[in-house]
A and B are shown apart, each in its own frame.
Chain A
Amino acid sequence: MVASFCRRVLLGFLFFSVHSFLFPSAALAQENPYFVAYDHYLEEPGNLEIEYFSTFGTQRGGNDFHAYWIEFEYGATAWWTTEFYLDGQTTFNDSTVFTGFRWENRFRPLNREHFINPVFYVEYENKNGADKILKEVEGHDVESDFLVSNAEARKEHIHEIELKLILSSTVKGWNFTENTLAAKNLSNSPWEFGYALGASRPLALKASANRCTLCPQNFVAGVEMYGGLGDRHSFGLHDTSQYLAPLLGWNLPSGWTLRVSPGFGLNDNSHRFLVRWGVSREISGFGSMVSRLFGGRK
Chain B
Amino acid sequence: MKAIATALAVCTSFLAASVVLAQSQKSEKPPDTVAPKYDPAIYSELQKAPEKARNRTNPLQNDPEAVAAGAILFEQHCAECHGSSAQGGKKAPSLHAAEVQCATPGAIFWILTNGVVRKGMPVWSKLPEPQRWQLVRYIKSLGGPVPAVESPAPKP
A residues engaging B (CB < 8 A)? 6, 10, 13-14, 17-18, 20-22, 24-25, 27-28, 30, 32, 39, 41-42, 44-47, 75, 77-79, 108, 111-113, 170, 172-173, 175, 202, 205-211, 217, 253, 284-285, 288, 297
Q: How far apart sit A202 and B127, CA to CA, in the bound complex (Å)?
A: 9
Give chain A residues whose Cβ lies under 8 Å from the Cβ of B15.
17, 20-21
Of the listed stretches B94-102, B115-123, B139-147, name the one at the interface; the rest are far from the partner chain. B115-123
- Whether B72 contacts A209 by the Cβ 8 Å rule is yes
Contacts A17-B15, A288-B90 given: A206-B10 contact, CB under 8 Å?
no
Do B123 and A41 have beta carbons less than 8 Å apart?
Answer: yes
Judge whether A79 and B11 touch: CB under 8 Å.
no
Is B85 close to A, CB under 8 A?
A: no
Tell me how far the C-beta of B44 lies from the nearest C-beta in chain A, rounded to whole angstroms: 15
B134 touches A25 (CB 8 A): no
The answer, yes or no, to whether B57 is at the interface (CB within 8 Å) is no
Q: Shortest distance in angstroms between B113's beta carbon and chain A's nearest beta carbon?
A: 5
Given A78-B115, A170-B126, 8 more A-B residue pairs with CB atoms under 8 Å apart are A14-B11, A21-B17, A24-B21, A30-B126, A47-B80, A78-B120, A173-B128, A205-B131
Contacting pair B118 A17 (CB below 8 A): no
10 A-B residue pairings within 8 Å (CB atoms): A10-B7, A14-B14, A17-B10, A17-B15, A27-B77, A112-B114, A172-B129, A205-B128, A217-B131, A253-B76
Query: Which B residues between 60 and 115 are near A, CB-CB below 8 angstroms?
Result: 65-66, 68-70, 72-73, 76-77, 80, 90-91, 113-115
Q: A113 to B72, Cβ gap below 8 A?
A: no
Contact A111:B118 (CB < 8 A) given known A17-B11, A24-B25, A46-B91: yes
Q: Are A207 and B117 in contact (CB under 8 A)?
A: no
Q: Which residues from chain B contact A207 at a C-beta distance below 8 Å?
A: 69-70, 72-73, 130-131, 134
| Closest Cβ–Cβ distance, residue B38 to chain A (whole Å) | 15
User: Do the beta carbons of B69 and A209 come within 8 Å of each other?
Assistant: yes
B66: A residues at CB distance < 8 A: 209
Interface residues of B in 1-26 (CB under 8 A from A): 4, 7-8, 10-12, 14-15, 17-19, 21-22, 25
The yes or no answer to B125 lying at the interface (CB within 8 A) is yes
Contact partner of B125 (CB less than 8 A), chosen from A20, A79, A113, is A113
Task: Name the residue on B nearest A253 (C-beta).
Answer: B76
In the bound complex, CA of A28 to CA of B72 (Å): 11
| Bound Cα distance from A210 to B73, whole angstroms | 10
The minimal Cβ–Cβ distance linking A23 to chain B, given in whole angstroms, is: 8
**B122 adjacent to A42 (CB under 8 Å):** yes
B143 CB to nearest chain A CB (Å): 20
Complex Cα distance, B72 from A284, in Å, reads 16
Cβ-defined contact, B90 with A79, below 8 A: no
Picked from B14, B21, B65, B73, the residue with its CB within 8 Å of the CB of A17 is: B14
Interface residues of B in 40-71 (CB under 8 A from A): 65-66, 68-70
Which of the residues A30, A41, A208 comes within 8 Å of B77, measured between beta carbons? Answer: A30
The one of A25, A44, A170 in contact with B122, judged by C-beta atoms closer than 8 angstroms, is A44
- Out of A21, A39, A45, A170, which one reaches B18, CB within 8 Å? A21
With the chains together, A172 CA to B69 CA distance in Å?
Answer: 19
Instruction: Name the residue among B12, B118, B131 with the largest chain A CB count within 10 angstroms.
Output: B131
